[in-house]
Amino acid sequence: MARVLITGSADGLGLMAAQRLSAQGHAVTLHARSEIRGEDARRACPKLERVLVGDLASLAETRALAAAANATGPYDAVIHNAAVGYTIGKRAETVDGLEQHFQINVLAPYVLTALMTPPSRLVYLSSGMHRGGTPDLSDAQWKTRRWNGSQAYSDTKLHDTTLAFAIARRWPTVLANSVSPGWVATKMGGAGAPDDLPAASVTQSWLAVSDDPAAKVTGQHLYHQEREDVHPATRDERFQDALLAYCAQLSDVPLPVVG
């Protein structure tokens, strides 16, 4: 039995992964951004070990979530599933004055990774849209660019894959990978999404707990349990280091040395 924490798991793919892992007998901790959503998640997945609450749009709450996770851990695996989908409206800022896509999709998993006791396995949810991301951090907060929600989302998914690969390189004792779940009919993906919804939570769950040699890899990007090509920038060690340094600067949380 493995102990697994899944962020952003009150609904959608995170909840599906939790239900899958719980049914397999693993001890799952869900995460929700509010107590109300946490109670909804517990009703949807009654075999949970616990629910942790924290809004990833707040650095203070993200730090508190990491502390709460450490108090109930350690975990064998963490699936960084939480994300906000792209918006067609205006740029929005969090309470910390950061662009919300970047803070929730990238900075929050970085902070949790840096502050939590390292698990044996880390899984970061990315997207096929990462291939359209821009490997340029000079305006990652969209303060000068004309707002484009789809591009902002693609950029953060590029960052998530890069973060997975950077952690795999920096922390050799931890298996760190990214996953594309496909374009599926979740609240984020929309009702017309064409990919297989039941299959969308399989790969991240498998990477988190399986003893299959194919699941015990690191520094890979997978789609439906198969390795997939990535944007070349995600393999660029200079870009990886720049992203880590940028996240450390924004959060005032350095990445520790592990292994």
Q: Is the pLDDT of residue 189 over 60?
A: no
8 A C-beta contact, residue 209 and residue 77: yes
pLDDT of residue 47: 87
The string of pLDDT tens digits covering residues 129-156 is 999 999 999 999 999 999 999 999 999 9
Catalytic residue among 153, 187, 223, 246: 153
Residue 259 lies inside a defined structural domain of this protein: no
Which amino acid is located at 211 in the chain? D
Residue 9 lies inside a defined structural domain of this protein: yes
The string of pLDDT tens digits covering residues 107-119 is 999 999 999 999 9
Q: How many CB atoms lie within 10 A of CB 184?
A: 20
Catalytic residue among 124, 157, 187, 223: 157
Q: What average pLDDT does the segment 153-168 reach? A: 98
Residue 66 lies inside a defined structural domain of this protein: yes
The string of pLDDT tens digits covering residues 10-67 is 888 999 999 999 999 999 999 999 999 999 888 988 888 999 999 999 999 999 999 9
Question: Domain residues for 174?
Answer: 3-251
Residue 257 lies inside a defined structural domain of this protein: no
Residue 203 lies inside a defined structural domain of this protein: yes
pLDDT of residue 197: 57
Does 153 qualify as catalytic in the annotation?
yes
Residue 61 lies inside a defined structural domain of this protein: yes
pLDDT of residue 89: 81
Q: How many CB atoms lie within 10 A of CB 190?
A: 11
pLDDT of residue 235: 98
- Overall number of domains in the chain: 1
CATH number of the domain within which 182 lies: 3.40.50.720
Q: Is the pLDDT of residue 190 over 80?
A: no
Q: How many CB atoms lie within 10 A of CB 41?
A: 22
CA-based Rg of the chain, rounded to a whole angstrom? 17
